[in-house]
């Protein structure tokens, strides 16, 4: 039986374990998906060595960047953003193992937002600067869209702060992607601090959150005629992409 899994810490809840085990059951695939809750990234190679039938892993917080030194190779997009959420495990002769890192968030996000794009969607604001935001930046770049990160503090000269979101910038940047946890259940009465009164029907607001189904960020966008979408489809598409990576 093939084995797949997730590494992270802590792993209180995991979309992947439910999704993949249901997939294996419904499609009669002889495989199982398990969670590997490792308190330290140095335990990573133990997981590989102790599970000889392990074919692939998903990676979640806090190991998306920490796992990279253990890998033999990175996909080119993944190398550019420096964050891994899928590992393909290639078993070679004489017990050797090759570990290749990918980022399926790039694929999931790109496939999810692309059908919503209109000719006037040329520039994007990315709210947040974590690992997910880097995947979004790369995905938008692959679609020919110029992006700027927005953070609470001036982390880099090229970044904007929320205080710097002038009416001119809001008019120019018609895609806004929320990559922060602000507005996630149970704190549903919160939203990123952008000037919502500057939004128009030309704006597209994409929230990586999917719980609740409609965040306050999305509601405020819709109140000004903006198109909105949550991150549930991206979550599913990145899972499809992970399965394709493991099996191609």
Rounded Cα distance, 93 and 222, in Å: 56
Q: In the chain, what are the domains?
A: 2-102 (3.40.50.10860), 106-230 (3.40.50.720)
Residue ranges of E strands in the chain: 2-8, 31-37, 54-59, 73-74, 86-91, 97-102, 123-127, 146-151, 160-161, 175-178, 204-207, 227-229
Q: Round the CA-based radius of gyration of the chain to a whole number and report it.
A: 19
- Tell me how long the chain is: 248
| Cα 141–chain centre separation | 15
DSSP H/E element including 153: none
Q: Catalytic annotation on 64?
A: yes
Q: In whole angstroms, how far apart are CA 113 and each of 100, 102, 119, 166, 232?
A: 26, 20, 13, 25, 12
Rounded Cα distance, 101 and 119, in Å: 34
The residue from 25, 64, 94, 187 that is catalytic is 64
Q: What is the pLDDT of residues 50-74, one digit of tens each?
A: 999 999 999 998 999 999 999 999 9
Q: What is the pLDDT of residues 17-32, one digit of tens each?
A: 999 999 999 999 999 9
The pLDDT of residue 207 is: 98
- CB 228 within 8 Å of CB 111: no
Q: What is the pLDDT of residues 182-240, one digit of tens each?
A: 999 999 999 999 999 999 999 999 999 999 999 999 999 999 999 999 999 999 999 99
DSSP H/E element including 216: helix 216-223
Q: What is the mean pLDDT of residues 121-144?
A: 94
Pairing of strands 97-102, 73-74: parallel
Q: Is the pLDDT of residue 13 over 80?
A: no
Between 104-113 and 131-142, two packed helices, what is the crossing angle to 10 degrees? 50
Q: Is the pLDDT of residue 15 over 80?
A: yes
Q: Which of 80, 144, 141, 139 is CA-nearest to residue 111?
A: 139
Q: Give strand pairing partners of 33.
A: 4
């Amino acid at each position: 039986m093939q084995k797949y899994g997730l590494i992270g810490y802590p792993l209180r809840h995991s979309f992947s374990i439910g999704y993949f085990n249901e997939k294996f059951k419904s499609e009669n695939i002889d495989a199982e998906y398990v969670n590997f809750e490792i308190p330290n990234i140095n335990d990573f190679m133990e997981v590989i060595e102790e599970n000889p039938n392990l074919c692939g892993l998903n990676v979640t917080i806090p190991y998306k960047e920490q796992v990279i030194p253990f890998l033999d190779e990175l996909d080119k997009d993944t190398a550019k953003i420096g964050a891994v959420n899928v590992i393909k495990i290639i078993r070679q002769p004489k017990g050797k193992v090759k570990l290749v890192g990918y980022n399926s968030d790039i694929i999931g996000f790109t496939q999810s937002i692309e059908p919503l794009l209109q000719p006037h969607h040329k520039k994007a604001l990315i709210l947040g600067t974590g690992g997910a935001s880097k995947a979004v930046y790369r995905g938008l770049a692959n679609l020919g869209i110029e992006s700027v990160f927005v953070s609470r503090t001036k982390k880099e000269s090229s970044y904007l702060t929320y205080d710097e979101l002038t009416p001119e910038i809001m008019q120019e940047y018609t895609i806004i992607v929320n990559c922060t946890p602000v507005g996630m259940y149970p704190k549903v009465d919160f939203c990123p601090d952008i000037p919502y009164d500057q939004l128009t029907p030309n704006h597209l607001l994409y929230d990586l959150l999917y719980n609740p189904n409609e965040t306050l960020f999305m509601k405020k966008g819709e109140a000004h005629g903006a198109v909105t979408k949550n991150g549930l489809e991206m979550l599913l598409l990145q899972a499809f992409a992970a399965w394709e990576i493991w099996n191609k």
